[in-house]
Structure 1
Amino acid sequence: MAVFGNPNADSGMEELVVVAETSVEDAEERDAIANEIASVTVDIVNLPPDDICLAPPHSVLKTSSGKIRRAATAEHYRSGSLGKSQTPVWRQVTGLALRSAAQRWRHAVPRAGAWLYAGYAWGIFGIAMTLVALIALPLPRLSWRWRVAHHIARGASLLTGIRTRAHGLAHFPCQEPCVLVANHASYLDALILTAVFPHDFRYLAKAELSQPFLTRFVLRRMGVLFVERDNTREANNTTEQVLQTAREGGSPAFFPEGTFRPEPGVQDFHMGAFVSAAKAQVPVLPVAIRGSRALLRGREWLPHPGIVDVTVGAPLQPKSSEWSEAVRLRNESRAFIVAESGEPDLASAG
């Protein structure tokens, strides 16, 4: 039995409530029990109870030591849940387990889908590389090899759900060499540019990629120039190779940031591309890639489908071969790429 006060919102007075447990179900017997409780209450406190609640056994809450929990019982009384049957423990545990399993399933299904897509995408990329090796590499001319690689890259992009949208292709100087510079946000940037441009470029790649024989053979057949970033003498040799390429009518392609990070943002540009353009007196073609970072971030190997916009800016003509002109070319190229890539300017932030 529990006795407690219950505030009456209408009268502003506190009512006396008695909660008593009984298993009796007969109406007359229950009335007799209620009358007896009312009589005893009057004898004890000289007041009749305002409400007598006859509840099933175990309705009056108790502590582990057997003390009555009046406040908790009163709360159940006010909420109308007093005397209602409690959910069995086994059902509570089962329900909790089922809810937990459902939540894990909701998380597992998208993850499994991501892994399945990744396996499919890497399979397509592997087939594309095999086709390039079998069809493009044996061709005698670099321009032919790049045209085949262009069509294969376009097919691989479509099959993997990577939709490329090109803007400003009319700016491309088809009849003269140029130095292409683009922001670097993903491992897929080279694939994306190859799918967009049907023209052959001489990409620059870090020297580490030339160590495995097969990689070195494939990349050299595709006209890639290897650069030793930490060796000043080798870097000068690379600059001479770039100049020679431009003078011979080739178009070198740079990622002047040098590398990329998982976090969004355009980093500082190295000067090599712009010094080469100024010395060779060939235009710089700024290209902004928007959206590739979300397809395959740095330190990740799970690609994702999506849309990538490639925007080509107007060619920037060098006016002299001086260092100051190279700086101007860098600044204008970078300003265009920052504006069109949709990513923050990390140089300004720093």
Structure 2
Amino acid sequence: MARWMWGALNALQAVFMVVVTLVGFPVALVLSVLLGPRMPLRLAAWYWSPLLFAGAGAKLEVEGAERIDWSRPMVLVANHQSMIDIPSLFRAVPVPLRFVLKREVASVPIVGWYARMMGMVFIDRGNARDARRKLGAAADKLRGNATFAAFPEGTRSKDGVVGPFKAGALQLALEAGVQVLPVAIDGAGKVLPPAGFIVRPGTIRVRFGTPIDTAGLQANERNALTQRAREQIVALLGQT
């Protein structure tokens, strides 16, 4: 009986998520045409994310945001536990935020359309030339004072343990000459596990680490930079 009730509730939560997204998309589209992308990007933080958290019965706690100079362009790199990581970062970051995403996300109805419209970057990991071109375009946006976020693991962790990092997102920061900000997301995998749609109430914590300067770093230092960012996130999560 309890399993049936949870299943019914999760179905209602899925419908709620779709409705919230459907309502928000045309508003974001109109704002983008009238005002450019800045306001609709913040709409994800002010409207979409809070409603998704309310629908999931989840609470967000943010640590360390007050220590960050958000006026500077930067690349946030975070561990990846759940699809709810994206609204968590939208809500936790106090400036317009774009993501470096897998190419497959572009084909997701509504979400993919919104992401394209907002100038987010879709990387085809099987096409190195295309990936370099798109990272170069993202680097240009960063030089124009944008903020990007990426999940260097490349996929969601099934057990919450931080996996190996791919260096593409860190290469983006090196090319643009901007800071890398490690971010630890904890609890997201319990609220919305990586497999299926099983939502449970809980607390998600977003912890901001210490920005890492890339000025003066050479291309051959990319792997060391990647490792430094990963080590910070592992430490913020209390993993060894």
Q: Within the alignment, does 1:258 sit opposite 2:150 as a pair? A: no
**Which one of 118, 123, 126 corresponds to residue 222 of structure 1?**
118
**Which one of 117, 137, 147 corresponds to residue 9 of structure 2?**
117
Distance in 2, matches of 1:142 and 1:183, equals: 26
Q: Tell me the amino acid that sits aligned with residue 117 of structure 1.
A: L
Q: Within the alignment, does 1:139 sit opposite 2:31 as a pair? A: yes
Q: Tell me the amino acid that sits aligned with residue 128 of structure 1.
A: V
Distance in 2, matches of 1:279 and 1:327, equals: 14
Distance in 1, matches of 2:44 and 2:179, equals: 25
State the Cα deviation string for residues 182-240 of structure 1 (Å, max 9, x = none).
00011111111112223212201111222367554222123321111111111111221
Secondary structure of the residue aligned to 2:22 is: helix
Q: Tell me the amino acid that sits aligned with residue 232 of structure 2.
A: F
Residue of structure 1 equivalent to 2:136: 240
TM-score, normalising length from structure 1?
0.63
Deviation at 1:172, TM superposition (A): 2.9
Q: CA 1:219–1:138 in structure 2 vs 1: closer, same or farther (change >3 Å)?
A: same
Contact 2:121 2:135 in 1 (8 A): no
Residue of structure 2 equivalent to 1:194: 90
Secondary structure of the residue aligned to 2:191 is: coil
Q: Tell me the amino acid that sits aligned with residue 244 of structure 1.
A: D
Residue of structure 2 equivalent to 1:319: 215
Any unmatched runs of 5+ in structure 1?
1-107, 346-350
Distance in 2, matches of 1:150 and 1:213, equals: 20
TM-score, normalising length from structure 2?
0.90
Q: Which has the larger Rg?
A: 1
Q: Tell me the amino acid that sits aligned with residue 77 of structure 2.
A: V
**Which one of 48, 57, 62 corresponds to residue 161 of structure 1?**
57
State the Cα deviation string for residues 289-313 of structure 1 (Å, max 9, x = none).
0000112222221111110000011
Contact 2:209 2:236 in 1 (8 A): no
Distance in 1, matches of 2:165 and 2:98, equals: 19
Distance in 1, matches of 2:159 and 2:109, equals: 32
Contact 2:82 2:156 in 1 (8 A): yes
% same residue: 27
Distance in 1, matches of 2:41 and 2:102, equals: 20
Using CA pairs below 8 Å that are at least 6 residues apart, which structure has the higher relative contact order?
2
Q: Tell me the amino acid that sits aligned with residue 40 of structure 2.
A: R
Structure 1: which 4+ aligned runs deviate by more than 3 Å? 211-216
Residue of structure 1 equivalent to 2:22: 130
Q: Within the alignment, does 1:203 sit opposite 2:99 as a pair? A: yes
Secondary structure of the residue aligned to 1:294 is: helix
Secondary structure of the residue aligned to 2:184 is: strand
Deviation at 1:180, TM superposition (A): 0.8
Distance in 1, matches of 2:187 and 2:109, equals: 33
Residue of structure 1 equivalent to 2:46: 151
Any unmatched runs of 5+ in structure 2?
none
Deviation at 1:330, TM superposition (A): 1.5
Secondary structure of the residue aligned to 1:316 is: coil
Distance in 1, matches of 2:7 and 2:94, equals: 32
Q: CA 1:213–1:194 in structure 2 vs 1: closer, same or farther (change >3 Å)?
A: closer
State the Cα deviation string for residues 67-123 of structure 1 (Å, max 9, x = none).
xxxxxxxxxxxxxxxxxxxxxxxxxxxxxxxxxxxxxxxxx32x1232132123213
Deviation at 1:324, TM superposition (A): 4.2
CA RMSD of aligned residues (A): 1.9
Q: CA 1:188–1:119 in structure 2 vs 1: closer, same or farther (change >3 Å)?
A: same
